[in-house]
Amino acid sequence: MDERDSYRGRVSYTRGVLGRRTAATRFDLLAAEFGTTARTVQRLFREYVGVGPKWVIRRHRAHEAAVRAEDGDWSALAAELGYSDQAHLIREFTTAVGTPPARPPRPPGGNPVSEYDLDTDPTRLDRAAVYGFLSTEAYWARWRTRAHVDAQIDGAWRVVGAYERATGAQVGFARAISDGVSLAYLADVFVLPSARGRGLGKALVRTMVEEGPGAHFRWLLHTADAHSLYAGFGFAAPDATALERPHATRPEPA
């Protein structure tokens, strides 16, 4: 293999590490993943990526902070992502994104999730709202048509919707497919931006995974973000016994 191709592959791999693990948030950890010195990593990133690794790390941490904002405890989040404190998180996020991180205001006292209903009734779903988010905002589902989304909901083993108690409007969703006995796959978990910061993401996963008939199932999941949220429910990287056959081509929207 050409040496440049080898370097290019290693840079691509190391960038992938950032997308898969929250822990890769420091330059020294990135160099360790690369198996070389920090100076070499910096040179190769600038040559093959166009920016330095510190820029990539900052963007990754800012993205993870945005995804995890609904956890509520920003001090703990700052520590987990490698920031010195909450102020450091906000300052670096603003530098990377251009605006301060937005956290919806919480009502004084009480549990903010209490403003919402979680319901497993599929007939209550606002399918237009689910399709609207998945087809425009979800990086994993923008190729789906309305017919695709309807078919997936119809074929789901279980769905969970989150609804504003005051208006009945749907603000969150999760679905699962399963054999109904021992295995289930979690998919399409989302919360609308207007309802984030209230713990609804965790509530959706908890309702689906821990509080339903699949509480003792083996659960599977694919995701490029929010790994620490799912880790709180026992999700982890698969061991060497897991194999996957990816689809060869993805259907184009009609």
- Judge if 131 and 226 occupy the same domain: yes
Q: Which of 126, 147, 134 is nearest to 190 (CA)?
A: 134
Give the CA diameter of the chain. 62
In a domain, 125, yes or no: yes
Q: Which residue has the higher pLDDT, 124 or 94?
A: 124
- Judge if 139 and 81 occupy the same domain: no
Domain boundary among 40, 70, 97: 97
The residue whose two tokens read 């319901």 is 119
- Judge if 92 and 141 occupy the same domain: no
In a domain, 69, yes or no: yes
In a domain, 251, yes or no: no
- Judge if 205 and 181 occupy the same domain: yes
- Judge if 82 and 124 occupy the same domain: no
- Judge if 117 and 227 occupy the same domain: yes
- Measured on CA atoms in the order 211, 215, 221, 225, is the torsion positive or negative? positive
7: left (phi over 0), alpha (psi -120 to 50) or beta: alpha
CB burial of residue 161 (10 Å; 0-12, 13-18, 19+) = buried
In a domain, 48, yes or no: yes
Q: Give the long-range contacts of residues 179-183, CB within 8 A, separation 24 or more.
A: 180/213, 182/217, 182/218, 183/217, 183/218, 183/220
- Judge if 91 and 192 occupy the same domain: no
Lowest mean pLDDT among 100-109, 122-131, 154-163: 100-109
- Judge if 219 and 120 occupy the same domain: yes
In a domain, 131, yes or no: yes
Domain boundary among 46, 64, 97: 97
Domain boundary among 62, 97, 132: 97
- 3-state SS of the chain is CCHHHHHHHHHHHHHHHHHHCCCCCCHHHHHHHHCCCHHHHHHHHHHHCCCCHHHHHHHHHHHHHHHHHHHCCHHHHHHHCCCCCHHHHHHHHHHHHCCCCCCCCCCCCCCHHHHEEEECCHHHCCHHHHHHHHHHCCCCCCCCCHHHHHHHHHCCCEEEEEEECCCCCEEEEEEEEECCCCEEEEEEEEECHHHCCCCHHHHHHHHHHHCCCCCCCEEEECCCCCHHHHHCCCCCCCCCCCCCCCCCCCCCCC
- Judge if 79 and 135 occupy the same domain: no
Q: List the CATH number of the domain containing 150.
A: 3.40.630.30
pTM: 0.59
Structural domains in the chain (count): 2
- Judge if 126 and 38 occupy the same domain: no
Asked if 115 contacts 198 with a C-beta cutoff of 8 angstroms, the reply is yes
Q: List the CATH number of the domain containing 83.
A: 1.10.10.60
Domain with 212 in it? 112-231
Q: Which two tokens stand for residue 234?
A: 């026992």
**For residue 207, is pLDDT > 90?**
yes
Tell me: the pLDDT tens digits for 170-192? 999 999 999 999 999 999 999 99
- Judge if 67 and 129 occupy the same domain: no
- Band of residue 85 on the pLDDT scale cut at 50, 70, 90: confident
Asked if 70 contacts 62 with a C-beta cutoff of 8 angstroms, the reply is no
Asked if 237 contacts 231 with a C-beta cutoff of 8 angstroms, the reply is no
In a domain, 103, yes or no: no
User: Span 199-205, mean pLDDT?
Assistant: 93
Q: Which two tokens stand for residue 209?
A: 């995974």
- Judge if 121 and 50 occupy the same domain: no
Tell me: the pLDDT tens digits for 29-38? 666 666 677 7
In a domain, 253, yes or no: no
**For residue 27, is pLDDT > 80?**
no
In a domain, 32, yes or no: yes
**For residue 109, is pLDDT > 80?**
no
